[in-house]
Amino acid sequence: MNEPSSSPALHTLQSVFGYERFRPPQQAIVEHLIGGGDALVLMPTGGGKSLCYQIPSIVRPGVGIVVSPLIALMQDQVDALRQNGVSAAFLNSTLGLDEVREVEQQLHRGELDLLYVAPERLMLPRTLDLLERIPVSLFAIDEAHCVSQWGHDFRPEYVQLSVLHQRFAHIPRIALTATADGATRREIIERLALGEARQFISGFDRPNIRYRISESSGNAREALLRFIRNEHEGEAGIVYCLSRKRVEEVAGWLQGKGVTALPYHAGLSAQIRQKNQQRFLREEGVVIVATIAFGMGIDKPDVRFVAHLNLPKSLEAYYQETGRAGRDGQPADAWMLYGLQDVITLKQMQAASDAPEHIKRIEHHKLDAMLGLCELTSCRRQALLRYFDDELAAPCGNCDTCLTPPQTWDATTAARKALSCVHRTGQRFGVTYLVEVLLGKGNERIRRFGHDKVTTFGIGSELNQREWSDLYRQLIARGLLAVDLEGHGGLRLTDASRPVLRGEQPLHLRKATRKISLKGGGRKAGRFAGQGEGQLWEALRQRRQQLADEQGIPAYMIFHDATLAEMVERRPETLAQLSGISGVGEKKRDAYGEAFLEVLQEYLQLEAGGESDTEEETLQLFRLGMNAEAIAAQRGLKPSTIYSHLAAGIARGEAALKEVVALEAHQLEAIRFAIEHHEGGKRLKPVFEALEGEFPYEILRCVQADMARS
Ligand code: ADP
Ligand code: ZN
């Protein structure tokens, strides 16, 4: 499939990584480095930064040194490279002395193409001396924004990296980041002495991410569960919440509903955090419920959704957090619910913070920009990109406002009433109270304050309680009302509200949508909804999981979703055809090709077989490597039905008992004994009871079938 390629870089891309062609900026960057130049690369998450230094490291003589602050991920990065047959290692504080020695030996022997190293380890005189004595192909400084003191990820050790320029002047350096505005970029250049470096700045757009934002109608958890079940059943996702307490509560609740949801926040022990993160990386379909403590440097490519149950503080945070979805370029959702309380809480937190005034002003603007995105009635992607000084000429067609244009209404009169009510009641009450006054609720508190006598009492019958509080949220979001500093949620008028109050400025607002519903009902759960393709997709995923489990690595290191999806679409039948699929390099073709072709062949036979009877269909899926539960889910049948098909298969010698049920020798012994002593299990109930209900009927039936055969 791959044409003989002229350049060594392209050859490496194809034979080692299994990709057909470079993405536009990659090629220029790779060639610039191979030619010995320095580079500063700004590329959005998922853009493909890693290859920009991996390929030159392989092509140039010597070892490529990758500086990264993300120690926890180095093992995974190295494992992923080794899967592709690249010789790589890492050096950080997690290694024992012997392991460090071993890596140093490999360096001396010139065996490594890539070495990942923590910045503090690199700065040790011992390490620098060693590197001066061996050929180094390049230095890559990943997460380069960590040199910036103004960013949230500042690492003091990063500042010392300018040493590289002094001590290794002739070795090319590349600094990479996904999050750098103009100021941070200048800081990177200055602090890392990259004045001579060529800059490669890519646009910010992540076209495969679908942005969706909706007002919470009170039960955010339910809405989240519906979203996961309808659109992302069995897929990996991240749910962000504002507080630890909320994280625990949401994770526990989702678990109760059958979702594999794990909590992650700074209050958990390092051990538990590590464990949950590992499961998220290694298992399929794990949902992490987290505070923002989770995510920095999470390289998992197949995160299919990022959900926010609270409003992020800024568009930078929103963009960075949602950016963790769909790094593999496949469709992914950025889904958010927010409500009045979010707006009030965040405004209060800001008001109460003791940051200096100029910082507070910046934070204030950032929150307003975030709120602006939420209340928008035009394309969200255009607005988001504009904020980052990036232009998108036309509406994107892949955000909720593009797909289901929100309706607007003339809120001028209602807004005047709402603002006036704030004024008449003395600018110190919260939304609930104000709405009660507007609706004319004659309760004790209102009478005590004499607010049943004000002109706005009972003038709001055209809207209900919900609609009024929606309106207040939008007025706050637009800066027409401010939240009090004392933290009681009292509202006061701002200067911006005067023209509206006086009726000089019309106001058009978006109508509440309540549910996040999309045209055509959104995407179906799982990638391939169609019966046949769905089965093949599931079977390929299961095979991938088996292979991953055997090695104790994450499934995506075997193949990414995109690679499996292409297998479903193209149905390769030979190793050569399989090589033509994106993501299948030579090493992986040799290691896993046969295993996947086997699944594909089984499937083709199944398809060719046409209408098979139901028992046969179960057995065929079973041979594809699916277990009874998976087959039941796939076929929409009860597991007990599937077990009866499998039992019949066992009786005919077409399926092996030990592959159908997992029983220990002594358990099997006990069941056999019970069946023998109850008329060979002519009726299973007495057997079941004799075993005190320890084994379900399904298992008894299979064991019985196995005994009947032998
Ligand atoms: P970043 O570090 O910029 O977030 P990665 O380097 O992790 O991005 O790459 C994101 C995904 O894109 C990975 O799954 C990677 O294998 C894939 N990828 C990168 N370059 C290419 C390419 N030229 N063709 C196909 N897939 C690519
Ligand atoms: Zn759009």
Q: pLDDT tens digits, residue range 417-436?
A: 999 999 999 999 989 899 99
Identify whether 344 is part of a domain.
no
Residues 193, 251 within the same domain: no
Same domain, 33 and 108: yes
Average pLDDT for residues 45-58, to the nearest whole number? 94
Residues 485 and 398 in one domain: no
**Is 374 inside a domain boundary?**
no
Residue 516 within a domain: no
* pLDDT higher at 705 or 486: 705
Of the two residues 342 and 102, the one the predictor is more confident about is 102
pLDDT in tens, 281-292: 888 899 999 997
**Which has the higher per-residue pLDDT, 287 or 389?**
287
The verdict on residue 646 lying in a domain is yes
Residue 297's pLDDT band (cuts 50, 70, 90): low
Atom of ligand 1 minimally distant from the CA of 301: 14
In a domain, 1, yes or no: no
- Give the number of whichever ligand sits closest to the CA of residue 382: 2
Output the pLDDT for position 522. Answer: 37
Select from 97, 89, 83, 47 the least CA-distant residue to 66: 89
Q: How far apart are CA 291 and CA 268, in angstroms?
A: 11
Mean pLDDT score, 82-103 = 96
Domain shared by 626 and 691, yes or no: yes
201, 235, 269: which is the final residue of a domain?
A: 201
398, 412: one domain = no
Q: Is the pLDDT of residue 524 over 60?
A: no
Q: Which ligand is nearest to the CA of 395?
A: 2
Task: Say if residue 193 is exposed, middle or buried (CB neighbours under 10 Å; 0-12, 13-18, 19+).
Answer: middle
CA of 328 to the centre of ligand 1 (A): 7
Nearest ligand 1 atom to the CA of 47 is: 3
Q: In the prediction, which pLDDT does 179 show? A: 76
> Of the residues 328, 557, 563, 566, which should be mutated to test ligand 1's pocket, given the most ligand atoms within 8 Å of the CB?
328
Q: What is the CATH number of the domain that holds 600?
A: 1.10.150.80
649 lines ligand 1 (CB under 6 A): no
- Percent of residues, the chain, with pLDDT higher than 70: 94
CATH number at residue 413: 1.10.10.10
Which amino acid residue places its CA nearest to atom 14 of ligand 1?
Answer: 328
- Average pLDDT estimate for 398-403: 91
Question: Using the 8-state DSSP alphabet, how is residue 679 labeled?
Answer: G
What is the structure's pLDDT at 518? 38
- In this structure, the answer to whether residues 180 and 216 fall within a common structural domain is no
Asked if 684 and 570 sit in the same domain, the reply is: yes
CB 338 within 8 A of CB 310: yes
Residue 585 has pLDDT above 50, yes or no: yes
- Which of residues 510, 529, 559 is at a domain's end? 510
Query: Nearest CA to 558 among 206, 83, 33?
Result: 83
Q: Residue 275 has what pLDDT?
A: 93
pLDDT band at 528 (very low <50, low <70, confident <90, very high): low
Find the 519 Cα to ligand 2 centroid distance in Å: 14
Supply the pLDDT for residue 116.
Answer: 98
* More confident of the two residues 104 and 574: 104
- How confident is the model over 12-33, as pLDDT tens digits? 999 999 999 998 899 999 999 9
Mean pLDDT, the chain, integer: 88
Mean pLDDT along residues 165-184 = 88
Specify the long-range contacts of residues 571-575, CB closer than 8 Å, at least 24 apart.
571/600, 571/604, 572/597, 572/600, 573/597, 573/600, 573/601, 573/604
495-515: pLDDT as tens digits: 999 999 998 999 988 877 544
Ligand 1 atom closest to Cα of 49? 3
Residue 560 in this model has a pLDDT that exceeds 50: yes
Q: Does 308 lie in the same domain as 452?
A: no
Q: Does residue 444 sit in the same domain as residue 585?
A: no
Same domain (yes/no): 592, 701: yes
Cα–Cα distance list, 180 to 189, 192, 300, 361, 384 (Å) = 11, 14, 21, 21, 15
State mean pLDDT over 156-177.
Answer: 94
Beta bridge partners of 288: 238, 262
pLDDT at 1: 43
The reply to whether 352 falls in a domain is no
Residue 399 and residue 296 share a domain: yes
Are residues 491 and 485 in contact, defined by beta-carbon separation less than 8 angstroms? no
Q: Which domain holds residue 285?
A: 209-339+388-403
Choosing from 158, 185, 201, the residue where a domain stops is: 201
Cα of 10 from ligand 1 centre, angstroms: 15
**Which numbered atom of ligand 1 lies nearest the CA of 22?**
23
C-beta of 49 in contact with ligand 1 (< 6 A): yes
Residue 361 lies in a domain: no
Domain assignment present for 368: no
Q: Is 588 close to ligand 1, i.e. is its CB under 6 Å away?
A: no
Any idea which ligand is nearest the CA of 48? 1
pTM over 0.85: no
The number of folded domains in the chain is 4
Of 61 and 655, more confident: 61
**CATH number of the domain encompassing residue 239:** 3.40.50.300
Does the Cβ of 43 fall within 6 Å of ligand 1?
A: yes
The bound ligand whose nearest atom lies closest to the alpha carbon of 405 is 2
DSSP-derived 3-state class of residue 289: strand
Tell me, yes or no, whether 292 and 230 share the same domain.
Answer: yes
